[in-house]
Amino acid sequence: MATRLQGTNLDDRVRYPWHEWSDGSVWVLTRGEDFDIIPESLQKLAYRWARRHGMRVRTDLSEFNVVRLQFVREGK
């Protein structure tokens, strides 16, 4: 039987704060502080999240264990 969870928002269960990170700012994320997976995996998650929310994301993995990202609304 299905059960309804009271007062729960599925966005609260997301591992990373994508809504915050997708505010258009450039974010510098450090492995071990901001995320706990390999940078390439976080990059893939960012691309997937952007696509699902009608956005594009620019990423940079040029520094060891650091991901720079910026989400941009489509058409901008």
- Per-residue pLDDT tens digits for 18-76: 999 999 999 999 999 999 999 999 999 999 999 999 999 999 999 999 999 999 987 76
Q: What does pTM read for this prediction?
A: 0.79
- E strand or H helix that includes residue 66: strand 66-73
**Domain assignments of the chain as residue spans, ordered by start:** 19-73
**Rounded CA separation 42/34 (Å):** 10
Cα angle at 35 between 51 and 20, to 5 degrees? 55
Residue with structure tokens 């956005």? Answer: 55
Cα angle at 73 between 24 and 8, to 5 degrees? 75
**Rounded CA separation 2/56 (Å):** 35
Length of the chain: 76
